[in-house]
Structure 1
Amino acid sequence: MKIAVCDDEPLFRENIKNFLDKYYNSLDVGIYTFSNGQQLIEQIRKNEELFQIIFLDIEMPGTDGFESAKIIHDINKNIPIIFLTSHTELAMEGYEVNAFRFLSKPVDEDKLKKALNDIESFLENDEKIMVCDSGTEYVLYVRDIMYIQAENVYINLFTAKGSYLIRKKINEMETLLNKLIFFRSHRSYIVNMEFIESFDGKKIIMKDKKEIPISKKQQNEFKYRMMDYLRKNSK
């Protein structure tokens, strides 16, 4: 795994790097530092899958953290970005560019450990699967699946780019998914909580406006799980 730390303050940048080196304590994890957003962007343009985690300062000369994040996610929307800032009032703007987490400077080590633990769970769901639909094979990121619908011995995987019908039972698919992100709302449906727009008490409305049924026995569990998901992803 490769992690990028981008901050224009040399001492802070080095402190984060040292903490990450100590936290992972593994030759399989490389920590790379950058003093400005443009340096980082240039490396990602050369290899969009170079980094699995990015720590990004917001206030930097030249290309600031928000603009850097927009460019990075235009190249690869799947890289989780943790923003570093001395100004917590900027947090809402950061979520507009799909920030994974905000950490206030000076960074509290316990909060940093929690962020790393959460991001590891998130990355576990970054798996790719091969699906064959109508004789054509496709590679999908698991977390790009918005929801899954059972159709007898088949399941339909719905993504923003289209749907893919594969021969697999929904119970089998459920065991492969990260339960921090996916929820079995109904015997015929699994939803990705990242793509939920609202819940009216009887059905789940996805961001593509699809209405997903939820069984009565799952409603309380869904409310708890959704609140937990939102809490963990809004810090």
Structure 2
Amino acid sequence: MQEMIGKHPLVDEFLCFDNVKSLLFELEDLSDTSAFLLDVEMPEINGLELAKELRKRQINLPLIFMTAYPEFALESYEVSAFDYLLKPISQDKVDSLLERLNSLVPQLEPVIFFQLEGLNRVYQKDIILCEAQGHYTRVVLEKHELLVKESISSIKDVRNY
């Protein structure tokens, strides 16, 4: 699977994690992530439980499950699965999936991640103003404000604020 996806022309980068703890630890560095491909059967925690944890953390990116077990398909839609692929997975299915994801990507809203208590996702469209305050940045949103322990120059992808 890694080879089929990683070499596809629509894929800029494909990251593979050996375990759930590594993925959860790296979440804040995955701000450019477009989707998650999860195996239902994984060590430590299954893909469905991981998906629930991602949703709990307000990560609303497309989730694609792959498995040899069709009986988990209905449960995958409880976490708004984008797709559920049964193994063995052909290159045609991978190509079709990536085409559908690619058509979705322009519709995804630009997001900025801030580290406060946990990881906070802020959609750029919701930002009214970013203002430098020493080594902090005040981020004004429609309904509330955030004081982020980052200089304004270190916040990536903040444009026109």
Shorter-chain TM-score range: 0.5 to 0.7
* Count of equivalent residues: 116
Amino acid at match of 1:56: L
Alpha-carbon displacement from aligned partner over 1:27-57 (angstroms, at most 9, x marks no partner): xx1211112222212211x336242121110
1-structure distance, mates of 2:7, 2:32: 21
| 1:139 has 2:125 as partner | yes
**SS state of the match for residue 32, structure 1?**
coil
Asked whether the 8 Å contact 1:53–1:81 carries over to 2, the reply is yes
2-structure distance, mates of 1:139, 1:81: 23
- Tell me the residue number matched to 2:148: none
TM-score of the superposition, structure 2-length normalised?
0.63
1-structure distance, mates of 2:21, 2:35: 17
Match of 1:30 among 3, 13, 28: 13
| Alignment of structure 1 residues 11-26 onto 2, 5 Å | 16-24=1-9
Asked whether the 8 Å contact 1:41–1:71 carries over to 2, the reply is no
- Tell me the residue number matched to 2:68: 86
Structure 1 residues 25 and 81, CA gap change in structure 2 (3 angstroms): closer
- Tell me the residue number matched to 2:25: 42
Aligned-residue sequence identity (percent) comes to 29
Give the drift of 1:128: 4.5
Amino acid at match of 2:78: E
Give the drift of 1:87: 0.6
Q: Looking at CA atoms only, which structure, 1 or 2, has the larger radius of gyration?
A: 1
Q: 1 or 2, which has the higher strand percentage?
A: 1
Amino acid at match of 1:55: L
Structure 1 residues 70 and 50, CA gap change in structure 2 (3 angstroms): farther
**SS state of the match for residue 103, structure 1?**
strand
| 1:74 has 2:59 as partner | no
1-structure distance, mates of 2:75, 2:105: 24
Amino acid at match of 1:20: I
Q: 5+ unaligned residues in a row in structure 1: which ranges?
A: 1-15, 130-137, 141-160, 163-235
TM-score of the superposition, structure 1-length normalised?
0.44
Match of 1:55 among 25, 37, 60: 37
Give the drift of 1:72: 1.4
Give the drift of 1:127: 3.2
2-structure distance, mates of 1:48, 1:112: 22
Give the drift of 1:92: 0.4
